Chains A and B, each alone.
Chain A
Amino acid sequence: MQKFFSNRKLVIAIIILIISFGLMSVSVAIRDRKSTPPLVQQFGNDVAGAVDRVVALPVNGLQGATNSVSDLLNTYQENQKLKKQVDQLAQAKVNAQTATAENKQLRKELKLNKALTDYTAVTANVLTRTPSSWMNQLVISKGATAGVKKNMPVMSQSGLIGRVVEVNQTNSKVELISNTSSSADKFAIQITNSAGKTVNGIVTGFDKSDNLIEMGSVTSSVKIKKGDKVITSGLGGLTPKGLYVGTVAKVKQDDYGLASEVEIKPAADLTDLTVVTVAEQ
């Protein structure tokens, strides 16, 4: 053991530590600031992404196969349930189409060209998930060439799941909404209650033990009930308005008793993601 702590080894160990810290702080700074990582980093990510596609293909294929078997087993019950919904859906679709057309016309008359709700969608496959308990991140198969930009919101079929944090040419990293790290910037959301009144706020955290999104520091006197719908509010930049987030699970006083905190049940299942949609405004 005397040999282990010899002078030379100690110096080497310290140099390695310094290099490690340096790399770490530089990369965290880049992550927080620039819109895209440096070209070298992008290139490395694209190469790794290409190799990953080859490895991920059979694994995802296997998942697809098992999913289809379980789907097949549930087909009959599902079909019964869906048949009932189809009739109502046709009605709702026609209603929505008329409303959209009318909305467009009215907007034209008001000379409002760009609305907060407008967005185009880029659909991407989920390549892989970061095998770490600290970073809830996904790598998706679309990048700058498909028009993805940093900080764009990402959705699964059922609702909001996170935002883009790093864009490369052919793939990009998505930070899930369940990430609680302090460096993650948060979504602006809006709760609409049954009377049609709205409460604005931002996502302030994620309650891991109950799998709920937290919206803190709410001082509004509007009554919010369990089950009220939550959407993105479109305030403050890249997120369009009207992306579905989830429903209110409970409302409680915060630790100081001054404001209330709303807990929201996310609509999307954050652990079962194969295809996601990036929304660009």
Chain B
Amino acid sequence: MKSRLRIIFPIGLFLALFLDGSLSNVFAGSLFKYPYSSVLHLVLLWLIFAVFLDERDDLPVVAWSAFAGLVFDWFYTGVFGVYLIALPLVVYLCRQIKPWLDLNFLTLLMVYIINLTIVEAFVYIWYMISKIVTSNLADFAVYTLGPTIAVNLAIFVILYYPVRQLYLRVD
């Protein structure tokens, strides 16, 4: 049973990675409606599900997240070292706080909000240092972070029970 999850997890991860881009393009009219821009984070969602729903902690999530981050930088942005660091960082933090959490729908939702904020802020700061971003902090919070969290929470609510069922069944 263990081996099945080891195959399902990376396939789901890369499906999420490429769906992020495709869906962003298809729904660009509603996701990137100026001045708001909401960024899809299916990869992050999949990683967090893997960290918290996999009871035995035997998936190499940190390594896979680094690889997914590398592909993201490589294929989508062309600027290396941003998602490559951000995604493993978040997974590492989740692993650290997991023993202290009473796991249910609401706590996982909270963890997801915090993680979204960490990733978006990390990417914003990194791009700001390399002068790819020129907008200021208030614009970032209002026009990017807010809509991003809203959209991704909706996706979380839709996907939580199906993915949990998947993990329960495979276990």
Contacts and interface: CB of A to CB of B under 8 A. Distances in A.
A56 B18 contact: yes
A165 B77 CA distance: 11
A20 B39 contact: no
Interface in B22-56: 22-26, 28-29, 32-35, 37-41
Given A52-B22, A132-B123, 6 more contacts: A25-B130, A27-B78, A28-B79, A44-B75, A128-B21, A131-B76
A254 B18 CA distance: 42
Q: Which of under 10, 10 to 19, 20 to 34, or 35 or more describes the interface residues of A?
A: 35 or more
B71 interface: yes
Given A55-B15, A59-B19, A182-B134, A131 B81 contact: no
Contact of B34 (A20, A25, A211): A211
A211 B123 CA distance: 24
A133 B126 contact: no
A25 B20 CA distance: 25
A160 interface: no
B82 interface: yes
Given A59-B23, A180-B134, A209 B77 contact: no
A135 B37 CA distance: 11
A129 B19 contact: no
B19 A134 contact: no
Q: Main SS of the interface on chain B?
A: helix
Contacts of A134: 123-124, 127, 132-133
Interface residues of B, number: 50
A106 interface: no
Interface of B: 14-15, 18-26, 28-29, 32-35, 37-41, 71, 73-82, 84-85, 96, 123-124, 126-127, 129-135, 143-144, 148
Interface string A12-46: 00001101111111111001000001000100110
A260 interface: no
Given A129-B21, A132-B77, A134-B127, A16 B85 contact: yes
Nearest to B32: A271
A273 interface: yes
B120 to A, nearest CB: 8
A181 B85 contact: no
A131 B40 contact: yes
Contacts of B28: 129, 270-273
